[in-house]
Amino acid sequence: MIDAATRFRKTPRQVSCQINDEIAILDMEKSLYFRLEGIAVDVWEALDQPCSVAELRDGIVARFDVTPDTCQADIVALLDQLQSQGLVEIAP
């Protein structure tokens, strides 16, 4: 179960780069390509270092007009999706 204290990091099986306002992610094991845009780009960039859901939420709330509850729910959904694809993992 993902909560505010859960920490995530990018997995080593992916490579990513920014193209204009988007992030392109390549899963090197599956040879699958993923694309992130909008606030998901900010979340992805923050995961260069292990980061908790609360830290991600607070950073987004400070920069954008979004409530903490809505922001956290969106971040959890994004992280769940990225984790299911093997692009992020829970960090110790």
Q: Tens digit of pLDDT for each residue in 13-57?
A: 999 999 999 999 999 999 999 999 999 999 999 999 999 999 999
Contacts of 31 (CB under 8 A, 6+ apart): none
Task: Report the pLDDT value the prediction gives residue 1, as an integer from 0 to 100.
Answer: 83
Task: Give Cα separations from 82 to 8, 63, 79 (angstroms).
Answer: 10, 22, 5
**Domain ranges in the chain?**
7-85
Query: So what's the architecture of 7-85 in CATH?
Result: Orthogonal Bundle (1.10)
**Of 56, 46, 50, which Cα lies nearest the Cα of 91?**
50
pTM above 0.95, yes or no: no
Could you tell me if 6 and 84 are in contact, meaning their C-beta atoms sit under 8 angstroms apart? no
Q: Are 41 and 24 in contact (CB under 8 A)?
A: no
Q: How high is the pLDDT of residue 75?
A: 98
